[in-house]
């Protein structure tokens, strides 16, 4: 997966490029990240990258010319590197809410150019002329678009084949099949008197699969019933959820 990042703080992305699953994926070439900093396009003595909003009001916006120049170069490099036109994404609270389905869509699509805003954001004409899609990681306001950009890149990157040690760990994630994840346990078997569920020690893979599915269904029913709305459960899932509810009601 090729990702171009437009950001005033590219060093923040070392959290992705130098650590963990994504860091290894970069090292192995499963993910390619390249950076363009609008400040590198500033020609004035102070290397200005922000500008005042028309109409007044608090805060600044990202300066149009330096931002557009960086997006343009990132887009050109995406096409040169992949032969494909990239999806140019701007992170903002006004965007499409990122979810696992969206992450899968981004992971399986064309190269991405991800634009991280700062200050109060960017000029609407840049959104109209240079941005293909706005995406949001949630209904709150952050000080910059770098963390949302890293969230989006991480959520998509881990779904790229070869990035996770066991591809099925992506399949078992919360939300991967639209359900919350089941509880997980590791050593020791007893933590302050709290024991690992016997089924997980049984070695019966079929029973373990059913227990995990039942827990996922039950947790989703309890914590996020909205995720079950409009969802058709197969016979096994219906039976397991019924079992969970009966046990829960006891």
Ligand X SMILES: Nc1nonc1C(=O)N[C@@H]1CC[C@H](O)C1
Residues 31-90 that bind ligand X (CB under 6 A): none
Of 28-36, 130-138, 217-225, 232-240, the segment contacting ligand X by CB under 6 A is 130-138
Cβ–Cβ < 8 Å for 131, 90: yes
What binding mask, one character per residue, do residues 83-122 give for ligand X by CB under 6 A, x or -?
--------xxx-----------------------xxxxx-
Q: Is there a binding annotation on residue 21?
A: no
One residue of 12, 15, 42, 142 binding ligand X per CB under 6 A: 142
Place of tokens 């903002």: 92
Secondary structure of the chain: what % helix, strand, coil (to 5)? 45, 15, 40
Which alpha helices (DSSP H) does 160-234 contain, by range?
A: 167-171, 198-202, 205-223
Which residues lie below 8 Å from residue 149, measured CB to CB, with a gap of 6+? 5, 7, 13, 91, 114, 115, 116
Q: Running DSSP on this structure, what letter comes out for residue 187?
A: S
Of the residues 93, 104, 132, 224, only one is catalytic, namely 93
Q: Is there a binding annotation on residue 137?
A: yes
User: Among residues 1, 196, 195, 228, which one has the least CA distance to residue 112?
Assistant: 1
Q: Is there a binding annotation on residue 117?
A: yes
144 binds ligand X (CB under 6 A): yes
**Interacting residues toward ligand X by CB under 6 A:** 91-93, 117-121, 136-138, 140-142, 144-145, 148
Binding site: residue ranges?
A: 117, 137-142
Binding site for S-adenosyl-L-methionine: residue ranges?
A: 117, 137-142
Active site residues: 93, 120, 158, 173
């Amino acid at each position: 997966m090729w990702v171009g990042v437009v950001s005033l703080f590219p060093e923040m992305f070392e959290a992705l490029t130098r650590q963990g699953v994504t860091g290894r994926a970069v090292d192995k070439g499963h993910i390619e990240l390249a950076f363009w900093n609008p400040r590198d396009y500033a020609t004035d003595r102070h290397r200005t990258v922000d500008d005042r909003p028309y109409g007044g009001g608090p805060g600044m916006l990202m300066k149009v010319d330096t931002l557009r120049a960086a997006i343009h170069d990132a887009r050109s490099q995406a096409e040169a590197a992949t032969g494909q036109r990239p999806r140019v994404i701007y992170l903002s609270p006004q965007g499409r809410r990122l979810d696992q389905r969206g992450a899968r869509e981004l992971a399986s699509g064309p190269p991405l150019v991800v634009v991280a805003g700062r200050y109060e954001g960017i000029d609407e004409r840049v959104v109209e002329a240079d941005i293909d899609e706005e995406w949001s990681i949630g209904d709150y306001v952050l000080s910059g678009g770098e963390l949302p950009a890293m969230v989006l890149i991480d959520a998509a990157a881990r779904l790229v084949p070869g990035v996770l040690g066991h591809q099925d760990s992506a399949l078992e994630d919360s939300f991967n099949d639209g359900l919350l994840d089941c509880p997980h346990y590791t050593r020791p078997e007893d933590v302050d008197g709290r024991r690992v569920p016997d089924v997980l020690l049984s070695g019966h893979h079929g029973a373990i699969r059913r227990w995990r599915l039942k827990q996922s269904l039950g947790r989703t029913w309890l914590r996020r019933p909205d995720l079950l709305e409009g969802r058709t459960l197969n016979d096994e899932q219906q039976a397991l959820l019924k079992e969970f509810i009966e046990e829960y009601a006891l």
